[in-house]
């Protein structure tokens, strides 16, 4: 049963302020739109739906989205709406430097302003690559116009010499295999050809698939959206149905603020634990919650994830890829299993107007090795762990399903790198004083330090350690990690080094204790010594001279609240701007 009460229809819509009259300004707005060949009756008061497209050939994961936009248009026309497609800044993960994360907030600003300034009543958000999903959701939340997401979908499985090749995951594995002398450069180059064999986003449960799953679990996409491969005809059907649905959402006035309640976020956090989702989801959900004025915290992540088993057997935590996840039934099966286990707010509303439970209650699991029964879970407690202690007073995160159980309780000698350049310069030095019991520490890779908080937290291991057959060491930084990566990696340490957090004063030779069971991250020096070092600390990071980089530096907040800009948190709605004509 839906708890949402639709508004009466028909009524005057927002777009009517532009198109719905006989005055000079109405004629002005309509007549220019008609140069695209739009018949007059399309301006009869029907919902005008934006299709917010992150298509770009510089974002290869989203390069097929124009085709999907056409499918969305079919659905919008069919349901009696007027579709208008528009581009926004596309944050492609694979090429943007210094990191796509630096541009997530820029893209979110673009979305928000485009929605508010244009004659739109609702929007379909077309996303795919990692940051495009949160950026579009953040921007849409800050206007609170009816919004629905359709994802581009993952690539087909990669295959190389009979083995699955997971996007990103295989790259990290093979680069370590080269350092260890297990494969040749020629092998690596040959494997490159098999890594990305179709349109779509990363085929692992990396950040793109995680965020598509988060959009579905939050209720912001139609049920089943997350896992359909990009090239499967059912992806086009999903786009078509999404186009149909947004028209009714506008008529009903079903908005993000109706859907994105605390219950919705709690559901998404639990789903993230069950799918072995990316640590990046922590930052993005905190930022999205900030846009709807919800006080979601790192403590919520730790509390809600504690009793959630990771049941989705996908790389990087497990064996399979998104294609198999789809064939097994996809995210609806996971949501049903959490609902059956009473670990879900079943009544949470989705874009369908129905409850999350209504959408999934009849689905079946078609492959119990891909989506495991709870008693065969990959990790019994798979939710993101939030660590605290004198090394991370504001918190740090770790993904248990991608970590080595034997390292979850560890005390080791710190080997410190002052920044990513220092790490790259020394990690392969055979004289580096390091062994597998050490803790690799990297500083100045947080939101302000890098800048943008790069995905470099899964530091590759020193070759001399790899040659012993060791595959994992404890690593700590204020960076993020690709959702496709793995290891006993402590990330998002807050406050970050570049603002004078305790991470900034760790020295090589200090002892560090990681105690995941007790959620503790401790630098084993006296409180007096720690304070002395902090007082003597000087910031090594220069503020950029100007431009967007300066805006980012001056306004980005910590990872513990989502790394949004301070002035962008909250919902500003979509009041009709003044007309200047
Ligand atoms: Fe775009 Fe992974 S690089 S989804």
Residue 94 sits in a domain of what CATH number?
Answer: 3.40.50.2300
CA of 336 to the centre of ligand 1 (A): 27
Whether residue 407 lies inside any domain: the answer is yes
pLDDT at residue 1, as a whole number = 46
Q: Could you read off the pLDDT of 207-259 as tens digits, one per residue?
A: 999 999 999 999 999 999 999 999 999 999 999 999 999 999 999 999 999 99
Whether residue 111 lies inside any domain: the answer is yes
| Domain boundary, last residue among 319, 353, 376 | 376
Provide the domain limits for residue 179.
158-195
Whether residue 579 lies inside any domain: the answer is no
Sequence-distant (6+) residues with CB within 8 A of 381 are: 305, 306, 307, 308, 309, 400
Ligand 1, atom 1, residue with closest C-alpha: 129
pLDDT < 50: residue spans in the chain? 1
93 lines ligand 1 (CB under 6 A): yes
How many domains does the chain contain in total?
3
> Does 112 share its domain with 246?
yes
Q: CATH number, domain at 391?
A: 3.50.30.80
Q: Exposed, middle or buried: residue 471 (CB in 10 Å: 0-12, 13-18, 19+)?
A: middle
| Domain boundary, last residue among 195, 221, 252 | 195
User: Left, alpha or beta for 472 (phi > 0: left; psi -120 to 50: alpha)?
Assistant: beta
pLDDT at residue 2, as a whole number = 53
56 lines ligand 1 (CB under 6 A): no
130 lines ligand 1 (CB under 6 A): yes
Residues 488 and 37: their CA atoms lie apart, in Å, by: 57
The Cα-based distances of 43 to 39, 82, 85, 148, 579 in angstroms read 8, 8, 16, 22, 19
pLDDT at residue 521, as a whole number = 98
pLDDT at residue 226, as a whole number = 98
| Domain boundary, last residue among 376, 393, 420 | 376
Q: In sequence order, what are the beta bridge partners of 474?
A: 439
> Does 108 share its domain with 178?
no
151 lines ligand 1 (CB under 6 A): no
129 lines ligand 1 (CB under 6 A): yes
**3 state SS of 316:** coil
94 lines ligand 1 (CB under 6 A): yes
201 lines ligand 1 (CB under 6 A): yes
202 lines ligand 1 (CB under 6 A): yes
Task: Using the atom order of ligand 1, give the atom closest to the CA of residue 128.
Answer: 4
> Does 405 share its domain with 284?
no
pLDDT at residue 318, as a whole number = 94
> Does 96 share its domain with 181?
no
Are 275 and 210 within 8 A, CB to CB?
Answer: yes
Task: Using the atom order of ligand 1, give the atom closest to the CA of residue 208.
Answer: 4
């Amino acid at each position: 049963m839906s708890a949402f009460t639709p508004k009466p229809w028909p009524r005057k819509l927002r777009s009517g302020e532009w198109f719905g009259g006989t005055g000079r300004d109405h004629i002005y707005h309509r007549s220019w739109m008609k140069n695209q060949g739009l018949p007059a009756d399309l301006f009869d008061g029907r919902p005008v739906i934006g299709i917010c497209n992150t298509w770009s050939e510089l974002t290869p994961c989203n390069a097929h989205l124009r085709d999907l936009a056409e499918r969305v248009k079919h659905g919008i026309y069919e349901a009696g709406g007027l579709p208008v497609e528009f581009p926004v800044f596309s944050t492609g993960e694979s090429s943007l430097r210094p990191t796509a994360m630096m541009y997530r907030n820029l893209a979110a600003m673009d979305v928000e302003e485009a929605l508010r300034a244009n004659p739109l009543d609702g929007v379909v958000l077309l996303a795919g690559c990692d940051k495009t999903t949160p950026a579009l959701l953040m921007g849409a939340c800050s206007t609170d116009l009816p919004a629905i997401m359709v994802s581009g979908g993952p690539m087909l499985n990669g295959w190389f010499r009979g083995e699955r090749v997971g996007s990103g995951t295989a790259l990290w594995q093979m680069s370590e295999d080269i350092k260890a002398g297990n494969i040749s450069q020629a092998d690596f180059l040959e494997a490159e050809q098999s890594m990305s064999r179709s349109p779509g986003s990363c085929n692992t449960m990396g950040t793109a698939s995680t965020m598509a799953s988060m959009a579905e679990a939050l209720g912001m996409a139609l049920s089943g959206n997350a896992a359909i491969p990009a090239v499967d005809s059912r992806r086009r059907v999903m786009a078509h149905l999404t186009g149909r649905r947004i028209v009714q959402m506008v008529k009903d006035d079903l908005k993000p603020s109706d859907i994105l309640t605390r219950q919705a976020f709690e559901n998404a956090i639990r789903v993230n634990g069950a799918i072995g989702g990316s640590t990046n989801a922590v930052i993005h959900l905190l930022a999205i919650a900030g846009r709807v004025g919800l006080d979601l915290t790192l403590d919520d992540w730790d509390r809600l994830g504690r009793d959630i088993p990771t049941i989705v057997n996908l790389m990087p935590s497990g064996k399979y890829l998104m294609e198999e996840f789809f064939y097994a039934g996809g995210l609806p099966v996971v949501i049903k299993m959490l609902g059956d286990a009473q670990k879900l707010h079943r009544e949470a509303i989705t874009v369908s107007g129905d409850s999350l439970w209504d959408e999934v209650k009849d689905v079946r699991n078609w492959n119990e090795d891909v989506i495991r029964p709870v008693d065969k879970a990959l990790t019994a407690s798979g939710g993101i762990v939030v660590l605290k202690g004198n090394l991370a007073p504001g918190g740090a995160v770790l993904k248990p399903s991608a970590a080595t159980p034997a390292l979850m309780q560890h005390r080791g000698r710190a080997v410190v790198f002052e920044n990513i350049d220092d790490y790259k310069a020394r990690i392969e030095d055979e004289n580096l004083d390091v062994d597998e019991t050490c803790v690799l520490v990297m500083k100045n890779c947080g939101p302000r330090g890098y800048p943008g908080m790069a995905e470099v937290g899964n530091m590759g291991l020193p070759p001399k350690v790899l040659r012993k057959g060791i595959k994992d060491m404890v690593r700590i930084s204020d960076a993020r990690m690709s959702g496709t990566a793995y290891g006993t990696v402590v990330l998002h340490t807050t406050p970050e080094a570049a603002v004078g957090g305790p991470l900034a004063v760790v020295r090589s030779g200090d002892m560090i204790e990681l105690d995941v069971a007790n959620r503790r991250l401790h630098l084993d020096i006296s409180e007096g010594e720690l304070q002395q070092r902090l007082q003597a600390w000087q910031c090594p990071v220069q503020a950029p001279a100007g431009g967007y980089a300066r805006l980012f530096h001056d306004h980005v907040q910590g990872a513990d609240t989502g790394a949004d800009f301070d002035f962008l948190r909250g919902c500003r709605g979509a009041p009709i701007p003044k007309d200047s004509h």
